[in-house]
Structure 1
Amino acid sequence: MLQDNFGRRFYYLRLSITDVCNFRCNYCLPDGYECDHDRDFLSLAEIKRLAAGFASMGTEKIRITGGEPALRKDLPDIIQACKQTNGIKTVAITSNGFKLAEHLPTWVDSGLDALNVSIDSFDPRQFQAITGKDKLDEILSGIDNGLSSGFTNIKINTVLMREYNAHDINSFFNYVKDKPVSLRFIELMQTGDNKDFYQQQHVSGQHIKNQLLANGWLPTIRHKAAGPAEVYAHPDYQGTIGLIMPYAKDFCDTCNRLRVSSLGKLHLCLFADEGLSLKEQLQIDDPLPLQRRIMSLLNDKQATHFLNEGFTGATKHLSMLGG
């Protein structure tokens, strides 16, 4: 079992398969994607070995991220490979949702269990101002198509920003009134490239939590392989509301996830000092060297991410690791 020196167990792997993204979100890649390395992204064979190695040490859930994972043409094969790995119970994707209606049926056929879609505003003009893309209606249609076909394990990720969406919280509540989706508000996090933007736009999720509790929303039980959100449900709403507040006290106490970059580097935290290469161990089918390497590196995992001290580690922008 993957367990660190603080007794935390790691059931959840966030696996980036590319750092390329075709959106220009103002909090992540406002100037668009710029490659500063060789695109030696993990191959399908390496991903199979990686998934098997983590699964053999207790990992039950793999979330495929980017950049934008749908930019890889072999994404269905990657989903299938992860899903067919012995011990992996859940395969999820985080996507910006471009061409979602076209892609989702293939992903589901390949074994996809869960989908997260990034939507930071339900106002088309505001959505375009945030992302640089006039795609909101198309993305929402893709979600509706998925729901109507019976694929209901859908979450929406919304990054809270003072000037762009924090004033319009009710539109997000209204969306989940009659839709069985989980909408999660994520506090804007400081990264290496967005310090000024962070200082201008960061807003705490605590006021939303207070609003939820004051209006009859109740916390739900958190599964051991779940993400970091505090999720709340209400009997009058089909959907749920989640909060991801990385600046909250003791946020890291329940950490259950590790990250591997598209270049095959293990990141013990989203804001770790550096990625630690697993590439050498991914060249052979024998899982033991990979297991030993991961267990050895896990000894260096820290108790907290030190975000409150302004520490951002090696994370220049969230597209590097998919958040």
Structure 2
Amino acid sequence: MLQDSFGRRFYYLRLSVTDICNYRCNYCLPEGIGCGRSLEGEKPLTVDEVATVVRAFASLGTEKVRLTGGEPSLRKDLVPLLEAVRASDRIRRLAITTNGYRLPSQIDDWHRAGLDQINISIDSLDPARFHHITGHDRLDKALSGLERALALGVDAKVNAVLLREYNFSELDNFLAWIRETPVTLRFIELMRTGDNREFFASNHVAGTDIETMLVREGWQQVIRTRDAGPAREYFHPDYAGRIGLITPYSKDFCASCNRLRVSAQGKLHLCLFADQGFDMREMIAAGDSDALAAHIRELIGGKSAGHELHEGFTGATRNLAMLGG
């Protein structure tokens, strides 16, 4: 089992398969990074290389793998990538995060490939506001894809980044929506990155304020599983859905960290806001998952206690598309 010097164990791998995204979200890539142009200028890991990474992490106790981007559906070989992860019998849960752009036409194929869970980014339930935030008039596609995922029995979560000037006024609408919709709606605090200093200053909302309101109105916290993500989830008997809160600026947020990240080009990031990624591409390409696992175990000793976001430190993360947040 992977364990760092602070006693934290790592059951969860967030594996980026591309740093390219076709959206222009105002909090991440307002200028856009379209198809074919990598932020890092390198080709992403191949299917075989992804399989090597997964075998290495699985041998170290990883139980959950999430494919992230950029936007994973831009990979034409996404189904083989999903199958490569699912081929490991030690991986209990296979997830993906998507903006939902191609979801209605692809979710059935992902499900057949073994997908267990999907996180869909829906930052507004108002079509015009959704368009303004993302640069695309595709809310209907995201919602229809979500509906199909639920029909297939895929565990569905919806991600909404809290933005004071753009969607914070929709809080009541979001809550009304999950009264009848059986999804976990996860409110994510806007995080400061290298490229969004001014935007962060005018739009950051503390998730703990929402948490206080939820508890006051009778919401109760769900017990976390050991491979759960960073959200603290709440349920209410009058609601079909749940609320999750990801609050990286809250006290002791990093104490429960259970996840590591590998970039689309094969760099191990011990934290989303680490000041560097460790380049493993050459070792991954060699295909020796045992040697790779031993190398990962050595690197994990360098993981720090916290992310230092409170001090304005953003590390090497210029924007969230680099590692999928």
Measured against the shorter chain, the TM-score band is over 0.9
Distance 1:271 1:302 in 2: 11
Give the conservation status (yes or no) of the 8 Å contact 1:64–1:94: yes
Distance 1:107 1:51 in 2: 18
Letter in 2 for 1:214: R
Identify which of 76, 80, 83 aligns with 1:77.
80
Give the conservation status (yes or no) of the 8 Å contact 1:163–1:201: yes
TM-score, with structure 1 as normaliser? 0.98
**Alignment partner, residue 130 of structure 1:** 133
**Alignment partner, residue 194 of structure 2:** 192
Identify which of 166, 169, 180 aligns with 1:167.
169
Distance 2:215 2:42 in 1: 46
Give CA deviations for 1:260-290 in whole Å, capped at 9, x if unaligned: 0000000000000111011122123332220
Q: CA deviation at 1:38?
A: 2.6
More off after superposition, 30-39 vs 98-107:
30-39
Distance 1:51 1:152 in 2: 22
**Alignment partner, residue 43 of structure 1:** 46
Give the conservation status (yes or no) of the 8 Å contact 2:22–2:32: yes
**Alignment partner, residue 58 of structure 1:** 61
SS for the counterpart of 1:299 is: helix
Q: CA deviation at 1:146?
A: 2.1
Q: CA deviation at 1:201?
A: 0.4
Aligned length: 322
SS for the counterpart of 1:291 is: helix
Give the conservation status (yes or no) of the 8 Å contact 1:152–1:180: no
Give the conservation status (yes or no) of the 8 Å contact 2:39–2:322: no
Give CA deviations for 1:165-195 in whole Å, capped at 9, x if unaligned: 1122011111111111000000000000001
Q: CA deviation at 1:239?
A: 0.6
Distance 2:265 2:31 in 1: 22
Letter in 1 for 2:42: R
More off after superposition, 185-194 vs 169-178:
169-178
More off after superposition, 228-237 vs 165-174:
165-174
Identify which of 108, 118, 121 aligns with 1:105.
108
TM-score, with structure 2 as normaliser? 0.97
> Is the aligned partner of 1:279 residue 2:281?
yes
SS for the counterpart of 1:156 is: strand
* Structure 1, unaligned runs of 5 or more: none
* Structure 2, unaligned runs of 5 or more: none
Give the alignment's Cα RMSD to 1 decimal.
Answer: 1.0
Runs of 4+ in 1 over 6 A off after TM superposition: none
Distance 2:14 2:152 in 1: 25
